[in-house]
């Protein structure tokens, strides 16, 4: 069995300007890795390349030994079945119930094959995994839930098909610190319980470091740093230091009269 689950190989992507400029990174099977970096540096673009939502100009992404770039439609569908994608802002359908939203994590064929009863059981199981009580939330609309609960429903949708890889795009953005901690604990819990490989794109450095095996920092479309949380905190690289220190509020600024 290959120990590498996701390989980004010399990945290039430009839109009206270069975004990814030669990203190479291996993510181990069962590993949790956080991808951090300044705004606009290509973190979400990297995540979208993982499942072919964006096609790179050069380079490849290899999932469990299989090229995403060279995959035909059927192969791509098979690769995508291995991956759960937690979109930014949960991206739930407003007019659909929680049940219907979570079921969207399965294809129409999978839903049909399961039938009503087994589908309900599968959705309920996914909700339980994200610590929501199915009977309380199944028929609710997203607007009837708190922001933290909506995020958890988004995660339930990503895990309902029992993926081997979970991709999280800004999983705690917009949440208060308490709910942010709940979601980080949940990501950690799912990593252990489901044994999944997790890639987390995030701005919340403090929240993500404790649950990450490694951290990768993107800068100007390239991996500037990759290492453990401790190595990241103690890095002497000037750009890493500047990035980390930016996150700590300057108390003098806070005391400035306004």
- Name the residues that contact ligand ATP, by CB under 6 A: 15, 19, 37, 39-45
Name the H helices within 177-237.
177-194, 205-208, 229-233
- Asked whether 130 and 155 are in contact (CB, 8 A), the reply is yes
Query: Measured between alpha carbons, how far is 35 from 97 in angstroms, rounded to an integer?
Result: 32
CB of 222 to ligand ATP, least distance (A): 13
Tell me the torsion sign for CA atoms 142, 143, 148, 149: negative
Q: Which helix (H) or strand (E) holds 73?
A: helix 73-81
Measured in residues, the chain has a length of 258
Which residues neighbour 96 within 8 Å (Cβ) at sequence distance 6 or greater?
104, 141, 142
Give bridge partners of residue 14 from the DSSP assignment: 18
Residue 40 corresponds to which tokens in the numbers above?
């606009």
CB of 78 to ligand ATP, least distance (A): 25
Nearer to ligand ATP, 56 or 134 (CB): 56
* Longest Cα separation, the chain: 64
Nearer to ligand ATP, 185 or 220 (CB): 220
């Amino acid at each position: 069995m290959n120990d590498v689950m996701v390989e980004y190989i010399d990945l290039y992507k430009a839109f009206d300007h270069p975004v990814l400029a030669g990203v190479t990174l291996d993510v181990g099977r069962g590993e949790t890795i956080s991808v951090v970096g300044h705004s606009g540096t290509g973190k979400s673009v990297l995540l979208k390349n993982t499942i072919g939502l964006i096609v790179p100009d050069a380079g490849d992404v290899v999932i469990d030994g299989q090229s995403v770039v060279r995959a035909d439609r059927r192969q791509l569908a098979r690769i995508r079945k291995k991956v759960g994608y937690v979109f930014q802002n949960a991206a739930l359908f407003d007019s659909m119930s929680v049940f219907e939203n979570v079921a969207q994590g399965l294809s129409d064929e999978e839903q049909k094959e399961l039938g009503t009863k087994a589908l309900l059981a599968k959705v309920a199981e996914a909700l339980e995994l994200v610590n929501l009580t199915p009977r309380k939330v199944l028929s609710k609309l997203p607007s009837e839930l708190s922001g933290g609960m909506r995020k958890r429903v988004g995660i339930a949708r990503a895990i309902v098909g029992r993926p081997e890889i979970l991709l999280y795009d800004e999983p705690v953005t917009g949440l208060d610190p308490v709910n942010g901690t709940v979601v980080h604990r949940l990501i950690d819990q799912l990593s252990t319980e489901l044994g999944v490989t997790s890639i987390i794109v995030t701005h919340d450095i403090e929240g993500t470091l404790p649950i990450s095996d490694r951290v990768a920092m993107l800068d100007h479309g390239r991996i500037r740093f990759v290492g453990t949380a401790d190595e990241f905190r103690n890095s002497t690289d000037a750009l890493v230091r500047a990035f980390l220190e930016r996150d700590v509020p300057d108390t003098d600024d806070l005391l400035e009269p306004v």
